[in-house]
Structures are given as C-alpha cells and as structure tokens.
C-alpha cells in the first residue's frame, strides 16, 4: 500500500441482499466502524437496494457503487440501466468488466471500454476489472491477458480520466474458490499493471491510480495483501456480506 493513494475497500454484493437486509448490514457496519478518514469504503449492492443504501451512507468515507451499467444514456434496452440513472441515485462508482460479466454474459473488452467511457461521461468513476482464468495462468499467459484487457478497456480514455479510475485485478481462478493468490503473486501482477498504465497514459499518471485485488479476500489475508506496495485496496465478494468479516476488512492493518 502506498501512503500517497487512499486505500479503497469495495464490497460487491452480487445477487445478494433484499432491500431490508442491505440497509441493516450497512447501518451495522457504519455504527461499528465509524468515520473512515484514511480509507474509502465503497458499497455495491444490487440495483434494487441502491437508493435505500445510498440514503443511509452517512459516515464520512463511504461511497455508493453500482455493479454494472449499459453504455447508452437511454433507449430501447429492456432490462438495462444507464449511467445517468445510477448517477441520479447517488452512485460515485460503477463496476465494469467483472469476471462474472465476462464469463457468464459474454462481455468483451470493447463492451468494457464503452461502459467505462459512459460512466465517466455521467460524472462517476469506473472500477475496471481485469484478470486471467486458471488455464491462462498455468500456460504463463497472465501478463499477456491482463495487458490485452487493459489496452482494450482503456483505449480512448484521457490521462485526466485515468487519474479517477480504479483498476481491480481479480484472478478468476481465485474468485469464490477459496484459493487466493499469495501476496507476492498479487503484487507481481499489480506492479505489472502499474507499469502498463504508465505506457498507456502519460508517465506519472500510474502513480495516482488505485489498483485493488479481488479474489477470495477475507479477514485472514487482508493485512498481508494490503502490506504490498502496489495493492491499494480490495474488491470483496462473500466476505463483505456479514457484519463481522466486513468490519474487519474495512479495519485492515498494513
């Protein structure tokens, strides 16, 4: 963790929590953790809970995020939600290109690029996810895959936009499997990503971009991960669904 970049812990609740459950969890976490001055907590509930959760994010340091969006502002896209609708609900971030969107719904790098641009135009910041599947890691293609995803997703973004975006490295083989990249493995890819960002944008911009790790992050490994110099936070799934574990993640020590 670099002290010049404010750490960010993002909770991706995926398809979990009713409105009442979401509000109860957020209230409890805020009450038990209090204000967050030296770190940022981002909560991405289901679409149905965005307005309710946004309405109770009272503690300093907490932000609201959506898990996905369409790239158009409006139109005949049944079942989709536009970035301006999410901005209207108080969202400050939108997760784009999550591995589950890529693996289960066929999203491509070009789709991620379109969504990232739309998120910026709506006045929010994207959390852009990249990462390799197990076969690609075993074949030694991790850097190749991650570089390709970054180039595809970031094409056309300006350096000024780049300073606001967040990158999340999520090795697909470690998501929901209980397997976690070691801190050293994660740091190696995070350092590669930062170098790649320097080549895509003006050199120096990469030092301002926060890069999160996502992949079976839990209370037992958060401190080790956050001690690495290029890991600026975590994108957390299952461990953010319960007050005790989520609180421990927010209160990581490095």
| pLDDT tens-digit readout, 13-61 | 999 999 999 999 999 999 999 999 999 999 999 999 999 999 999 899 9
pLDDT, position 205: 93
pTM for this predicted structure:
0.95
- Count of CB atoms within 10 A of residue 39's CB? 18
> 1: number of CA atoms within 13 Å, CB side?
19
pLDDT, position 3: 80
Q: Is 242 an annotated catalytic residue?
A: no
Give the torsion through C-alpha atoms of 187, 192, 193, 199, to 10 deg: 150
What are the residues whose beta carbons fall under 8 Å from the beta carbon of 163, sequence distance 6 or more?
205, 208, 209
pLDDT over 90 at 176, yes or no: no
Mean pLDDT value of segment 128-157: 94
Domain of 168, CATH number, reads 3.20.20.70
Rounded CA-CA distance 124/191 in Å is: 26
* Residue scoring higher pLDDT (120 or 174): 120
Rounded CA-CA distance 169/211 in Å is: 7
pLDDT, position 67: 98
Angle between helix axes 19-33 and 243-250 (nearest 10 degrees) is 50
- The candidate with the shortest Cα–Cα distance to 174, out of 254, 239, 247, is 239
Mean pLDDT value of segment 197-213: 94
Residue 214 burial class via C-beta count within 10 angstroms: exposed 0-12, middle 13-18, buried 19 and up:
buried
What are the residues whose beta carbons fall under 8 Å from the beta carbon of 193, sequence distance 6 or more?
130, 146, 150, 167, 169, 211, 230
40, 98, 100, 190: which is the annotated catalytic residue? 98
Mean pLDDT value of segment 166-179: 84
**Tokens in use for 12?**
């991706």
Q: Is 224 an annotated catalytic residue?
A: no
100, 107, 132, 170: which is the annotated catalytic residue? 170
**Tokens in use for 92?**
């400050």
Q: How confident is the model at residue 175 (pLDDT cuts 50, 70, 90)?
A: confident
- The candidate with the shortest Cα–Cα distance to 190, out of 205, 210, 173, 208, is 210
pLDDT over 90 at 179, yes or no: no
pLDDT in tens, 80-135: 999 999 999 999 999 999 999 999 999 999 999 999 999 999 999 999 999 999 88
Average model confidence (pLDDT) across the chain: 95
Range of the domain at 62: 8-250
* Domain-embedded: residue 3: no
Give CA separation, 105 vs 68, 139, 155, 238, in Å.
Answer: 12, 24, 22, 20
The fraction of the chain above a pLDDT of 70, given in percent, is: 99
Rounded CA-CA distance 23/248 in Å is: 19
Number of folded domains that form the chain = 1
pLDDT over 80 at 178, yes or no: no
pLDDT, position 119: 98
Q: Is the dihedral of CA 21, 22, 27, 30 positive or negative?
A: positive
- Count of CB atoms within 10 A of residue 145's CB? 17
Look at the block and give the residue holding tokens 């470690």: 174
Rounded CA-CA distance 206/85 in Å is: 30
Cβ atoms of 97 and 145 within 8 Å: the answer is: no
pLDDT, position 58: 87
* Domain-embedded: residue 194: yes
Q: How confident is the model at residue 170 (pLDDT cuts 50, 70, 90)?
A: very high
> 245: number of CA atoms within 13 Å, CB side?
15
* Domain-embedded: residue 36: yes
Q: How confident is the model at residue 172 (pLDDT cuts 50, 70, 90)?
A: confident
pLDDT, position 31: 94
């Amino acid at each position: 963790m670099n002290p010049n970049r404010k750490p960010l812990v993002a909770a991706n609740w995926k398809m979990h929590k009713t409105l009442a459950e979401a509000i109860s969890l957020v209230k409890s976490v805020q009450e038990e953790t209090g204000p967050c001055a030296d770190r940022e907590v981002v909560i991405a509930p289901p679409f149905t809970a965005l307005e309710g959760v946004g309405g109770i994010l009272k503690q300093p340091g907490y932000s609201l995020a959506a898990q996905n969006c369409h790239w158009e502002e409006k139109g005949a896209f049944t079942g989709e939600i536009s970035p301006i609708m999410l901005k209207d609900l108080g969202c400050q971030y939108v997760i784009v290109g999550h591995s589950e969107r890529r693996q289960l719904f066929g999203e491509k790098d070009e789709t991620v690029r379109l969504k990232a641009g739309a998120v910026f135009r709506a006045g929010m910041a994207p959390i852009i996810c990249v990462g390799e599947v197990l076969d690609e890691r075993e074949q030694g293609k991790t850097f190749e895959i991650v570089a390709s995803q970054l180039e595809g997703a970031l094409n056309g973004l300006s350096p000024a936009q780049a300073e606001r975006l967040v990158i999340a490295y999520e090795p697909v083989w470690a998501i929901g499997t209980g397997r976690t990249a070691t801190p050293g493995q994660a740091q190696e890819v995070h350092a590669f990503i930062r170098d790649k960002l320097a080549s895509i944008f003006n050199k120096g911009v990469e030092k301002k971009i926060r890069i999160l790790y996502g992949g079976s992050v839990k209370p037992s490994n958060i401190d080790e991960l956050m001690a690495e110099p290029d890991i600026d936070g975590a994108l957390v799934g299952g461990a953010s669904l319960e007050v005790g574990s989520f609180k421990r993640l927010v209160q990581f020590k490095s």
